[in-house]
Amino acid sequence: MRFNDQIVWVTGASSGIGEALAYAFSREGAKLILSGRREAELERVKAACATAPENILVLPLDLVQFDSLPEKAKQAAARFGRVDVLVNNGGISQRSLVAETKLEVDLAVMNTNYFGTIALTKAVLPQMLARRSGHIVVISSLMGYLDTPLRSAYAASKHALHGYFDCLRSEVWEQNVKVTLVCPGYISTDISLNALTADGSKYAQMDANQAKGLSAEACAMQTLNAIATGKEEVIIGGKEVLAVYAKRFLPRLYSRVVRKIKL
Ligand SMILES: NC(=O)c1ccc[n+]([C@@H]2O[C@H](COP(=O)([O-])OP(=O)(O)OC[C@H]3O[C@@H](n4cnc5c(N)ncnc54)[C@H](OP(=O)(O)O)[C@@H]3O)[C@@H](O)[C@H]2O)c1
């Protein structure tokens, strides 16, 4: 029960990694705030959590409605008095070539993954600084380190999170606010089904890599371990995580291999 009576806010809690995080935190005694756009799915997740229903707030939000997020943070604080852990997990991916991708798609990915995440963080941070206690968690990706064809906006959004939240960590450590970046590889979720294509429509196909990836439950458990032990960064996945080291230590070889990727 490492998170007993901790107030944990998970975005993207309506499916995939966020849903698994909700269950994992609830098994460890946390009180939960569950966010995402699909209220009915959030209610489904709430009903399946181990936490008593009165200790779970379903708080629907759209990360790209930046102006609404301070009010959402007020509602969260009004219900539980504070937020101990904010898990910025909500996000979307992309499957399209730069040359074919509408700028609107780049904006949608950046607005959701990057600007939505920092907007919600800014809404929650002041009360953590005032209490001199809190933990900001960001679900990034191996694509926060790597590059492949067909993931330009997604990789850009995740790289941007690393720059931003590494800076934040260096600013808030004296006020006892921790920052953890979580970098999963292939996790078996609906991410590819929900990914945007060049014209903004959904890709709507399950990628083979995701289908045979690590389970969302295993990813969630490793994420909780990283949060509980105050890790600054954690990489989670199968053998694809070796690509991070290939990119760093054998960059030319990495480039030659990666340009052959077709999906
Ligand atoms: N699966 C992987 O292989 C993998 C690998 C590395 C990183 N990740 C990251 O893990 C996170 C979760 O993805 P997933 O794999 O669990 O995929 P998923 O099943 O598609 O879940 C994405 C979640 O994000 C929420 N979301 C999307 N747009 C939103 C918006 N505008 N406002 C609020 N919530 C929004 C969705 O909820 P609603 O639709 O209800 O809004 C959903 O709960 C993402 O940040 C993703 O980049 C995934």
Other C-beta atoms closer than 10 Å to the C-beta of 174 total 9
The closest of 148, 172, 139, 144 to 160, measured between CA atoms, is 144
Contact 191, 20 (CB under 8 A): no
Alpha carbon 207 to chain centroid distance? 19
Question: What is the pLDDT, as a whole number, of residue 224?
Answer: 98
pLDDT in tens, 18-65: 999 999 999 999 999 999 999 999 999 999 999 999 999 999 999 999
Across the range 208-227, mean pLDDT stands at: 97
All domains of the chain in start order, with CATH? 7-258 (3.40.50.720)
Does the Cβ of 194 fall within 6 Å of ligand 1?
yes
pLDDT over 90 at 262, yes or no:
no
The reported pTM is: 0.98
Q: What is d(CA 113, CA 95) in angstroms, rounded to the nearest whole number?
A: 15
Which residues sit opposite 94 in a β-bridge?
Answer: 196
pLDDT over 90 at 263, yes or no:
no
Task: Please work out, in degrees rounded to the nearest 5, the angle formed at the alpha carbon of residue 121 by the alpha carbons of 161 and 81.
Answer: 155
Question: What is the pLDDT, as a whole number, of residue 129?
Answer: 98
Q: What's the gap in Å between 228 CA and the centre of ligand 1?
A: 22
Question: What is the pLDDT, as a whole number, of residue 216?
Answer: 98
pLDDT over 90 at 9, yes or no:
yes
E-only strand ranges, 75-190? 85-88, 134-139, 177-184, 187-188
Q: What's the gap in Å between 55 CA and the centre of ligand 1?
A: 24
Length of the chain equals 263
Does the Cβ of 141 fall within 6 Å of ligand 1?
yes
Does the Cβ of 157 fall within 6 Å of ligand 1?
no
